[in-house]
Amino acid sequence: MADNACSGDFVAGVLVGALMGAAAALLFAPQSGEETRILIRDKGLELREQADDLSLEARRRAEQIQAQAKEKATELQSQAKDRAAGIQTQVKQAVEEGKSAASKRKEDLLSKLEEPEPDDQAPTEE
């Protein structure tokens, strides 16, 4: 993070230095005031065009990034729906297996209850 701050300060310093140098060059130029004003106006127009170009390029990049993000979000949404459907299917299958096992167990218990128990206390003939 400190590197970013230092590089930002460096870039700002370079830009301020360039502007100061340009101003000094204009002030000490061997041109007339009229020629200097024309030069300043031309440079201003050139800088405006460059700013417009940079703005347009930034807008294009932002639109591209937005489109990519939207595409990725759609893809992730689709994956989430697929996973949810798979989990839902597994849960339904597990519930059905549980119902089947419970039904079978119930039948087994009922059949054991219905079977006559051997009579252990019946008199034996001797």
Tell me: the pLDDT tens digits for 16-38? 888 888 877 767 767 677 887 88
**For residue 13, is it within any domain?**
no
Residue 125 belongs to some domain of the structure? no
Judged by average pLDDT, the poorest of 2-6, 46-50, 66-70 is: 2-6
pLDDT, tens digit, 9 for 90 and up, residues 91-114: 999 999 999 999 999 888 888 888
Q: Is pTM beyond 0.85 here? A: no
User: What is the residue range of 55's domain?
Assistant: 31-104
Taking alpha carbons only, the member of 7, 3, 27 closest to residue 15 is: 7
Residue at 3 is within a domain: no
| Residue 36 · residue 44 · CB < 8 Å | no
